[in-house]
């Protein structure tokens, strides 16, 4: 929880700076690169290694990501300095939520048993966009355990059209009818 809270605070501070400088969307992309690099297993181990001098770690970030905005790179250095390297992903997620909120976009997660085709994803995006009257940003997940169909998560709402949930509903109905028939 503390890690998430810290990530949210860093995201909020960086987002406010980005908005002031009219670079919110640019920094979202660059923050994504920073988080991806800092989450790389080998680089992450290097950044967290106690015997590597702090200056060398900060220099490594500048060397690996010379093209990103210095303020975004400074966030990486700050995370290293504070021993919060593993919060980089949380910062990126929090930042993107703030950006989506500012731009009126709704993140939606679509889970399916198999990878969906581009045309199917577009139909889902349009359906959900019409349903909630907002621009929709779709993230996909593949989970074979749902057997078939899809699950759409829109914020805290869940539209479960999975085969697994339908089979579970059928199982509950059959059990309740069997119990009712015995009584």
Model confidence pLDDT, tens digit, residues 48-100: 999 999 999 999 999 999 999 999 999 999 999 999 999 999 999 999 999 99
**Distance (Å, rounded) from C-alpha 132 to C-alpha 86?**
34
**17 lies in the same domain as 88:** yes
**41 lies in the same domain as 95:** yes
Give pairs for 20-23: CB < 8 Å, separation 24+. Answer: 23/69
Tally of domains within the chain: 2
Q: Other C-beta atoms within 10 Å of 152: how many?
A: 20
Model confidence pLDDT, tens digit, residues 96-155: 999 999 999 999 999 999 999 999 999 999 999 999 999 998 999 999 999 888 999 998
Retrieve residue 116's tokens. Answer: 């969906």
**What residues make up the domain containing 155?**
104-182
For the question of whether the overall pTM of this predicted structure is more than 0.75, the answer is no
Domain boundary among 44, 68, 100: 100
CATH assignment of the domain containing 119: 3.40.30
């Amino acid at each position: 929880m503390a890690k998430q809270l810290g990530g949210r605070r860093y995201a909020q501070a960086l987002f406010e700076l980005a908005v002031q400088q009219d670079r919110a969307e640019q920094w979202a992309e660059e923050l994504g690169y920073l988080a991806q690099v800092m989450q790389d297993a080998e680089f992450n181990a290097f950044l967290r290694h106690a015997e590597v001098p702090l200056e060398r770690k900060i220099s490594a970030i500048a060397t690996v990501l010379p093209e990103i905005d210095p303020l975004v790179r400074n966030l990486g250095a700050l995370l290293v300095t504070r021993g919060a390297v593993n919060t980089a992903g949380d910062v990126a997620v929090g930042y993107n939520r703030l950006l989506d909120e500012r731009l009126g976009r709704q993140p939606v997660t679509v889970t399916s048993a198999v990878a969906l085709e581009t045309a199917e994803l577009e139909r889902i995006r349009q359906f959900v966009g019409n349903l909630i009257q907002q621009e929709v940003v779709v993230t996909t997940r593949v989970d074979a355990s749902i057997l078939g169909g899809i699950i759409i998560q829109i914020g805290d709402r869940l539209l479960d059209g999975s085969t697994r949930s339908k089979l579970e509903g059928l199982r509950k109905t059959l059990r309740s009818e069997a119990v009712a028939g015995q009584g």
